[in-house]
C-alpha cells in the first residue's frame, strides 16, 4: 500500500506527505497555558494538509496580529470544517513559520503543527483529503477559485461601499465647516465694521476737541488743561480701540485663510463625489434593454424608467463621451419602444421595455428629440436624425391644430404647458440649425410667439405655468433662461434678472434634510412651487434647484460677455452656493448594485405633493436619475436646451 502511495505522490523530506486541499478553518489565539488571548474567531483556509499539521492561508491579516504570528509565542485553537462531518474538527496547534504570498502584504501562509487533535477525527480529515486529491481535483480547483474569488469580491465590494460612503461624509463635513467659516467671517466682518465706525467717530471727536482747544484764549489755563485731559483720555481710548480692531482684522485674515483651505478641499471632494454620481448613473443601466430605473428605493415603481429621465441619461452619457451607453437608450426608442400613433409613452419597464403606463405627453417626446440632437452634436453620428425628425413631425402636427401655434400637453389632453412649448422652441431651433430646414425654424417661431402671447409679460407674474394657468412653477423660470436665453428675452421685453428674482422670492426655501446617519442639515434650494401655497411647507427639489444653477451660470456668462464683471460674479456666487447645497443632499446608494455610490434624492421629503399634479417618490432616501443627472449638468455648466460649440 505504501508503494502505491509513493507512485501517486512524490516523496518529500517531511515527516508527513502534504496533500493539496482546501477546508475553511476558524481559529482564535490562545496563550501557551491555554488561556484565551483573543476571543473572537478569525477565518482562514487550508493551503495544504498533513497528518501532523496544516498550512493556513489567511487574507487581510492586520499588522498587530502578523507580529504575534511571527513571534510564534501564541497557540491557535482550530475548528476545521469538512463536508463529511456534521461538527467541525477541534484541534490545538503551534505556529511554525509565516510568509507572505507572492509579495501580497494582505495575504499570508502560516505553517502550523498540531499539539492536540483527536486521532479518529484526524483520520477522517485525511481520508477526505485523499478522496479530494484522487478523485475530484478539477472540482477542488474550481471550489478554491470560487471561494477565494468570492472572498476577494466580497471584501472588495465592502471596501468600495465603505469608501464611497466615507467620500460623501467627507464632503458633508467640509461643506459644514465651510458654512461655519463663512458665518464666522461675516460675524468678524460685522465686528470690524462696528469698530471702524467707532474709531472714526472717536477720531472725529478728538479732532473736534482739538479745534475747541485752539479757540480758547491762552490765559484760560484751567479749561485748556481740561481739554488736554479729555484729548489724552480719548487718545488712550483710540489706542485700545485700534488694538482691538487690529486683533479683529487678524482673526478675519485667519478665518479667510481657513475658508480658502476648506474651499480647496471642497473643490476636490465635489469633483470626486460628482464623478461617483456619474458612476451611479452608469452601473444601473440594464444590459439587455439599455434602460435605467428612474427611482432607486421606491418599491412601487422600482422597475419603471421614465422617458424624460432616459433623455437626461443620454445627455449625461454624451457629456462624458460615453456614446455606447447613449446609443443603447436611443436604440431602444428607435427600434423597441412601444409607440401610439407616433407618440412615445411616458414610462417603460426596465427589464423588458414593455409600457409601464399608457400616458403620452409632449414634453417627454420632445426631450427624446433634444437628447438625439445633443448626441448628434457631440458624436457627429447622424444615425438617429430620422427619429428626431419623426418626433418633430408628430409635434408639428399637434401644433398645427392650434390657431395660435401652441402645443398642447399631449394628443389626448386639452391643457397647454409653458414648459412643453419651451422644450419645443429649443428642439426646433436645434433641428433648424442642423438641417437648415425652414419648417423647423418656423415651428420654433410659432412656439415662442405662443409663449409670449400666453405666458409672458405680467409684471407681478413673469411666467405662467401654461395657457390660462397662473400657477408658479420653478422650472418654467429656469428653462426660460436656458431655452430662450437672456439676450433673446430682453428683445421680447422680458427682464431675465427679474425672472430669476421672482422665482428666488417665491420658490426659494431653506429646509431641514435628514441624512442617512440621522444627522439633520439645513438645505437651501428651490421648491417645486411657492411653499405658502402648499400645506406641507417647504421642500427642496434637487432637479429644479440644479436647473436654477444652470440658469445662473448662463447669466454669469451673459454678463461676462457684456463686460459687467460685478453682475457676473454675483450670479457665479449664487451658482456655487446652490451647488454646495446640492452637495449636502448627496446620499449613498442603498442598492447592492449601487455599491454605496453617491446620488441625489428627488427632494428633501418623500411622498409629498409637488403642487403640479404628482408627488415625490416614496422612500426617505430614494435615488433619483433626474436629480442626479441635472446636478451633473449644473456642476459642468451643461445646458441641455442649447447646442453649444
Cα separation, 585 vs 546, whole angstroms: 12
Checking if the pLDDT of 213 tops 80, the result is: no
Reported confidence tier of residue 275, pLDDT bands at 50, 70, 90: confident
Within 8 A by CB and 6+ apart from 459, the residues are none
Cα separation, 469 vs 611, whole angstroms: 13
Q: In the numeric block, which cell numbers belong to residue 67?
A: 507580529
Instruction: Check whether residue 185 and residue 241 sit in a common domain.
Output: yes
Instruction: Check whether residue 247 and residue 199 sit in a common domain.
Output: yes
Per-residue model confidence (pLDDT) at position 311: 98
Per-residue model confidence (pLDDT) at position 338: 96
Of 44-53, 490-499, 539-548, minimum mean pLDDT range: 44-53
Within 8 A by CB and 6+ apart from 42, the residues are 26, 27, 28, 58, 65
Per-residue model confidence (pLDDT) at position 393: 97
The angle at the Cα of 432, spanning 428 to 435, to the nearest 5 degrees, equals 130
Cα separation, 33 vs 35, whole angstroms: 6
Backbone angles phi, psi at 343, to 5 degrees: -100, 130
* Domain boundary, last residue among 119, 135, 151: 135
Q: Report in angstroms the alpha-carbon separations of 452 from 164, 422, 463, 470, 537.
A: 47, 11, 9, 14, 32
Contact 507, 550 (CB under 8 A): no
Cα separation, 212 vs 225, whole angstroms: 12
Identify whether 158 is part of a domain: no
Reported confidence tier of residue 10, pLDDT bands at 50, 70, 90: very low
Per-residue model confidence (pLDDT) at position 449: 95
Contact 558, 486 (CB under 8 A): yes
**Neighbouring C-alpha atoms within 13 Å toward the C-beta of 610:** 17
Identify whether 45 is part of a domain: yes
Instruction: Check whether residue 397 and residue 306 sit in a common domain.
Output: yes
Cα separation, 341 vs 359, whole angstroms: 13
φ/ψ bin of 58: left (φ > 0), alpha (ψ from -120 to 50), beta (otherwise): beta
- Quick one: which of 469, 465, 467 has its CA closest to 450? 467
- Taking the CA atoms of residue 600, residue 605, residue 607 and residue 612 in that order, the dihedral angle to the nearest 10 degrees is -90
Per-residue model confidence (pLDDT) at position 212: 78
Backbone angles phi, psi at 114, to 5 degrees: -70, 135
* Residue-wise burial string across 412-422, b where 16 or more C-beta atoms lie within 10 A, e elsewhere: eeeebbbbbbb
Backbone angles phi, psi at 552, to 5 degrees: -60, -40
Of 155-159, 319-323, 549-553, 628-632, minimum mean pLDDT range: 155-159
DSSP state of 223: H
Contact 513, 538 (CB under 8 A): no
Checking if the pLDDT of 555 tops 90, the result is: yes
Backbone angles phi, psi at 255, to 5 degrees: -60, -40
The H-or-E segment that residue 296 falls in is strand 295-296
Identify whether 9 is part of a domain: no
Provide DSSP, 138-178: HHHHHHHHHHHHHHHHHHHHHHHHHHHHHHHHHHHHHHHHH
Per-residue model confidence (pLDDT) at position 610: 85
Per-residue model confidence (pLDDT) at position 4: 38
Cα separation, 592 vs 594, whole angstroms: 5
Reported confidence tier of residue 516, pLDDT bands at 50, 70, 90: low
Instruction: Check whether residue 311 and residue 409 sit in a common domain.
Output: yes
Identify whether 2 is part of a domain: no
Cα separation, 24 vs 81, whole angstroms: 6
The H-or-E segment that residue 551 falls in is helix 542-562
Of 26-35, 138-147, 551-560, minimum mean pLDDT range: 138-147
Cα separation, 620 vs 622, whole angstroms: 6
* Domain boundary, last residue among 222, 243, 275: 275
Of 28-32, 589-593, 600-604, minimum mean pLDDT range: 589-593
Q: In the numeric block, which cell numbers belong to residue 432?
A: 433648424
Identify whether 528 is part of a domain: yes
pTM over 0.85: no
The H-or-E segment that residue 575 falls in is helix 565-583
Instruction: Check whether residue 379 and residue 441 sit in a common domain.
Output: yes
Per-residue model confidence (pLDDT) at position 40: 72
- Quick one: which of 349, 641, 350, 352 has its CA closest to 484? 641
Beta-bridge mates of residue 404: none
- Taking the CA atoms of residue 644, residue 292, residue 543 and residue 186 in that order, the dihedral angle to the nearest 10 degrees is -90
Per-residue model confidence (pLDDT) at position 520: 83
Checking if the pLDDT of 217 tops 80, the result is: no
Contact 510, 538 (CB under 8 A): yes
- Taking the CA atoms of residue 119, residue 122, residue 123 and residue 127 in that order, the dihedral angle to the nearest 10 degrees is 180
Number of H helices, E strands in the chain: 17, 19
The angle at the Cα of 377, spanning 372 to 381, to the nearest 5 degrees, equals 75
Identify whether 157 is part of a domain: no
Alpha helix (H) residue ranges in 109-136: 119-135
Identify whether 411 is part of a domain: yes
Instruction: Check whether residue 375 and residue 471 sit in a common domain.
Output: no
Residue 247's domain spans which residues? 177-275
Between residues 181 and 82, the one the model is more confident about? 82
Within 8 A by CB and 6+ apart from 195, the residues are 241, 244, 245, 248
Within 8 A by CB and 6+ apart from 402, the residues are 408, 450
Within 8 A by CB and 6+ apart from 262, the residues are 174, 177, 178, 181
Cα separation, 220 vs 258, whole angstroms: 57
Reported confidence tier of residue 639, pLDDT bands at 50, 70, 90: very high
Mean pLDDT of 294-300: 86
Instruction: Check whether residue 295 and residue 371 sit in a common domain.
Output: yes
**Neighbouring C-alpha atoms within 13 Å toward the C-beta of 106:** 6
Alpha helix (H) residue ranges in 344-437: 362-379, 385-399, 418-435
Beta-bridge mates of residue 183: none
Instruction: Check whether residue 238 and residue 305 sit in a common domain.
Output: no
Radius of gyration for the chain, computed over Cα atoms and rounded to the nearest angstrom: 36
* Domain boundary, last residue among 426, 454, 482: 454
Contact 80, 125 (CB under 8 A): yes
Q: If DSSP codes are grouped into helix, strand and coil, which group holds residue 120?
A: helix
Number of separate domains in the chain: 4
Mean pLDDT of 535-556: 93
Per-residue model confidence (pLDDT) at position 137: 54
Between residues 168 and 436, the one the model is more confident about? 436
Instruction: Check whether residue 467 and residue 354 sit in a common domain.
Output: no
Instruction: Check whether residue 466 and residue 427 sit in a common domain.
Output: no
Within 8 A by CB and 6+ apart from 349, the residues are 291, 303, 304, 305, 355, 356
Within 8 A by CB and 6+ apart from 610, the residues are 528, 529, 541, 603, 616
Instruction: Check whether residue 504 and residue 605 sit in a common domain.
Output: yes
Within 8 A by CB and 6+ apart from 119, the residues are none
Instruction: Check whether residue 182 and residue 317 sit in a common domain.
Output: no
Residue 358: which CATH number? 1.50.10.10
Cα separation, 26 vs 44, whole angstroms: 6
Identify whether 91 is part of a domain: yes
Locus of grid cell 423588458:
352
Locus of grid cell 471584501:
155
Q: If DSSP codes are grouped into helix, strand and coil, which group holds residue 509?
A: strand
Reported confidence tier of residue 491, pLDDT bands at 50, 70, 90: very high
Amino acid at each position: 500500500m505504501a508503494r502505491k502511495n509513493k507512485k501517486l505522490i512524490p516523496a518529500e523530506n517531511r515527516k508527513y506527505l502534504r496533500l493539496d486541499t482546501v477546508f475553511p478553518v476558524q481559529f482564535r489565539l490562545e496563550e501557551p497555558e491555554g488561556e484565551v488571548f483573543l476571543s473572537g474567531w478569525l477565518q482562514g483556509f487550508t493551503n495544504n494538509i498533513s497528518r501532523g499539521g496544516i498550512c493556513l492561508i489567511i487574507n487581510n491579516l492586520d499588522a498587530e496580529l502578523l507580529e504575534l504570528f511571527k513571534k510564534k509565542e501564541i497557540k491557535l485553537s482550530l475548528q476545521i470544517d469538512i463536508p463529511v462531518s456534521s461538527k467541525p474538527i477541534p484541534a490545538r496547534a503551534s505556529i511554525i513559520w509565516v510568509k507572505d504570498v507572492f509579495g501580497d502584504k494582505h495575504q499570508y501562509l502560516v505553517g502550523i503543527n498540531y499539539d492536540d487533535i483527536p486521532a479518529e477525527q484526524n483520520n477522517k480529515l485525511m481520508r477526505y483529503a485523499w478522496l479530494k486529491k484522487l478523485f475530484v481535483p478539477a472540482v477542488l480547483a474550481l471550489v478554491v477559485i470560487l471561494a477565494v474569488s468570492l472572498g476577494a469580491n466580497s471584501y472588495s465590494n465592502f471596501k468600495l461601499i465603505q469608501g464611497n460612503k466615507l467620500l460623501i461624509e467627507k464632503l458633508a463635513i467640509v461643506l459644514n465647516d465651510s458654512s461655519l467659516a463663512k458665518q464666522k467671517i461675516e460675524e468678524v466682518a460685522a465686528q470690524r465694521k462696528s469698530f471702524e465706525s467707532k474709531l472714526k467717530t472717536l477720531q472725529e471727536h478728538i479732532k473736534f476737541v482739538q479745534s475747541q482747544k485752539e479757540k480758547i484764549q491762552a490765559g484760560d489755563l484751567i479749561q485748556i488743561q481740561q481739554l488736554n485731559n479729555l484729548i489724552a483720555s480719548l487718545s488712550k481710548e483710540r489706542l485700545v480701540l485700534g488694538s482691538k480692531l487690529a486683533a479683529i482684522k487678524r482673526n478675519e485674515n485667519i478665518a479667510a485663510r481657513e475658508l480658502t483651505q476648506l474651499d480647496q478641499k471642497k473643490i476636490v471632494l465635489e469633483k470626486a463625489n460628482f464623478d461617483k454620481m456619474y458612476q451611479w448613473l452608469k452601473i444601473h443601466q440594464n444590459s439587455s434593454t439599455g434602460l435605467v430605473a428612474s427611482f432607486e428605493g421606491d418599491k412601487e415603481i422600482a422597475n419603471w424608467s421614465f422617458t424624460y429621465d432616459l433623455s437626461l441619461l443620454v445627455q449625461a452619457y454624451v457629456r462624458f463621451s460615453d456614446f455606447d451607453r447613449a446609443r443603447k437608450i436611443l436604440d431602444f426608442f428607435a427600434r423597441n419602444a412601444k409607440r401610439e400613433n407616433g407618440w412615445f409613452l411616458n414610462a417603460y419597464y426596465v427589464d423588458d421595455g414593455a409600457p409601464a403606463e399608457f400616458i403620452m405627453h409632449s414634453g417627454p417626446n420632445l426631450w427624446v428629440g433634444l437628447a438625439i440632437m445633443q448626441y448628434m452634436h457631440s458624436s457627429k453620428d447622424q444615425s438617429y436624425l430620422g427619429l428626431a425628425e419623426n418626433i418633430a413631425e408628430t409635434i408639428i402636427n399637434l401644433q398645427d391644430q392650434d390657431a395660435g401655434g401652441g402645443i398642447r400637453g399631449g394628443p389626448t389632453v386639452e391643457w397647454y404647458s409653458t414648459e412643453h412649448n419651451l422644450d419645443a422652441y429649443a428642439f426646433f431651433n436645434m433641428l433648424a440649425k442642423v438641417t437648415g430646414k425652414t419648417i423647423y425654424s418656423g415651428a420654433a417661431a410659432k412656439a415662442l410667439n405662443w409663449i409670449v402671447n400666453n405666458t409672458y409679460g405680467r409684471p407681478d407674474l413673469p411666467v405662467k405655468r401654461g395657457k390660462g394657468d397662473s400657477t408658479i412653477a420653478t422650472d418654467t423660470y429656469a428653462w426660460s433662461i436656458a431655452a430662450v436665453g437672456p439676450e433673446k428675452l430682453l428683445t421680447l421685453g422680458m427682464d431675465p434678472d427679474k425672472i430669476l428674482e421672482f422665482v428666488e422670492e417665491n420658490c426659494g426655501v431653506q429646509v431641514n434634510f435628514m441624512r442617512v446617519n440621522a444627522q439633520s442639515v439645513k438645505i437651501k434650494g428651490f421648491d417645486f412651487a411657492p411653499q405658502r401655497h402648499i400645506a406641507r411647507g417647504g421642500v427642496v427639489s434637487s432637479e429644479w434647484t440644479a436647473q436654477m444653477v444652470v440658469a445662473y451660470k448662463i447669466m454669469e456668462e451673459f454678463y461676462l460677455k457684456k463686460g459687467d464683471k460685478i453682475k457676473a460674479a454675483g450670479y457665479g456666487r449664487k451658482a456655487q452656493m446652490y451647488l454646495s447645497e446640492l452637495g449636502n443632499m448627496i446620499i449613498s446608494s442603498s442598492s447592492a448594485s449601487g455599491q454605496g455610490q453617491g446620488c441625489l434624492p428627488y427632494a428633501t421629503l418623500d411622498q409629498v405633493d409637488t403642487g403640479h399634479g404628482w408627488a415625490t417618490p416614496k422612500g426617505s432616501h430614494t435615488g433619483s436619475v433626474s436629480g442626479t443627472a441635472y446636478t451633473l449638468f449644473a456642476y459642468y455648466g451643461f445646458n441641455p436646451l442649447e447646442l453649444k460649440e
